[in-house]
A and B are shown apart, each in its own frame.
Chain A
Amino acid sequence: MRALVASLSLAALCLSGTGCAAVKPWERDVLARPDMAWEPDTLEAKRDAHVHYSKEASLPGGGAGGGGCGCN
């Protein structure tokens, strides 16, 4: 959690133009890895979002395209 807060602060610095160095296009090999995707397991992420949406009060945190209920 501390890392997340630190990263969000760093992002704010980046956006204000005073912070981090930009990563150049030829330096993006690690960023392009499948396991660096926001959701590498797309179908499982969509399924889990639908299951959580059906069993909890919260909005899905990502992934549930489509509509319908299936909410029993």
Chain B
Amino acid sequence: MSHPARRGRRKARARSARRRAQRKRKPSALAALTSGALALPGLAGSAAAEGLIDQISSEYNFSRYSEGSIPASKVAPGSERGRYDIDMHQVHLAAPLGERFALGLDVVHESMSGATPWYVIPGDDGDPVQVMTGATVEDKRTDLLLEGKYYMDRSLASLSGGVSFEKDYFAINGGLGGQLDFNDKNTTLSSGVGVSIDSIDPTDSAEFPLRPDHEKKQSYSAYAGISQVLRRNVAIQSTLTYSLGNGFLSDPYKEALVLGEPVADSRPDLRNQIAWLSRYRHHFSSLNATFHTDYQFYWDDWNITAHTLEVAWYQSLFESFRLIPSFRYYSQGQADFYANYYDQARSDGYYSSDYRLSPFGAISWRLRAEAHFRTWEIDWVGSFSWQRYLSSGSYALGKVSAPNPGLVSFDLYSVGLTTRF
């Protein structure tokens, strides 16, 4: 090995030691600002901290998701009004393996139950009303994701692979990501690719003849991003993400009313999606607080455009507490083949009354509280959060003449515990 190379390794070890020392003073202060990844199914590298993992850490979060009932005026007579509830357990484990390698494991388990929107019909007064699934849907989903990271002096490579299974759905995904720092680590470029191969086996297809027996789809994704430190307390990031969906992109459990008769939800078997996300972080030392704002522009070739704006205020209180109020606004247009119901047959044969392809806006707010403490040589963070999400045609940026009656509202409560050894 040459002398310059040995010097490089010594410098890297010294940097590593400095980082460890800094971490002992501020246990969770990972150098997260180098992150540029935007995670999609199959993409390596989450949007979480891409700083060096040099401690064993574990995180657990339990969430209860509960959708509000559909108002009586928006549901078909005799149809179920109650909607979906989900209990979600999330675990994240991370550990360094030697100086340059780290492994992370994510496990998610969800239990879901409730009724979901099926199709839309004209109501007695002419306004559209929702028909819900008759029987209660019950399912469980388990998702495993393993990620390896290899750290070099100025760069990082990551490789991930995962599976997700439900009674009627199986997906396998993989991804490759990379990150390069330069300009004294004030600038970071990141990019990655991912693939997900999904298999769909809808339940009760013998009972419901419009449901397919078995379908497949594939998703391919790629992103490229840049992060820039502007000042000692200000940083920005901008990431462009592209995704191509191919195969069965319809919802096997939904139908649409065409000339008074229900038909299977039917969408194009190709979808190109582009999202451009920009983020801004600004710390105010005098207030001991940090301001976050994220804006995303989205477009796809089903003719949907969407805008998302999120703001959050991270307020540190005393030495050990943090309070985080945040607000999110979202607005989307409709897919060009979407309608509440169809008075004419379409020449392309595409039909969907899914509220997720309808024009609407949504507002949500969240309050999160954290307590940080250290005991038995372990750093602990306990958290609680509550979030409310409301969607409506009247919240959209453009005028919506006939909003989908199945638009969702939900509450989300969660508790979490993080430990670092």
Contact = CB atoms under 8 A, between A and B. Distances in A.
Interface stretch (B120-128, B184-192, B255-263, B342-350): B184-192
A6 to B, nearest CB: 10
A67 B173 contact: yes
B3 interface: no
Given A37-B33, A56-B330, A70-B110, A43 B116 contact: no
Nearest to B141: A70
Contact of B283 (A4, A25, A30): A30
Interface residues of A, number: 56
Interface string B55-73: 0000101010100000000
A61 B308 contact: yes
Given A32-B31, A42-B92, A23 B184 contact: yes
Contact of B47 (A27, A47, A62): A62
Given A1-B295, A47-B90, A68 B141 contact: yes
Contacts of B112: 70, 72
A47 B414 contact: yes
B295 A66 contact: no
Interface string B219-250: 10000001111111111111001010000000
Nearest to B291: A3
B84 interface: yes
B48 interface: yes
Interface string B8-29: 0000000000000010001011
Given A55-B391, A62-B47, A69-B200, 17 more contacts: A3-B280, A4-B236, A8-B236, A10-B230, A11-B238, A24-B184, A33-B26, A34-B26, A36-B33, A37-B32, A39-B32, A42-B49, A58-B298, A59-B241, A65-B43, A67-B172, A72-B112
5 contacts: A14-B186, A31-B235, A46-B90, A48-B387, A61-B294
The 8 nearest A-B residue pairs measured at CB: A68-B164, A37-B32, A62-B47, A67-B171, A35-B314, A67-B41, A42-B48, A67-B173
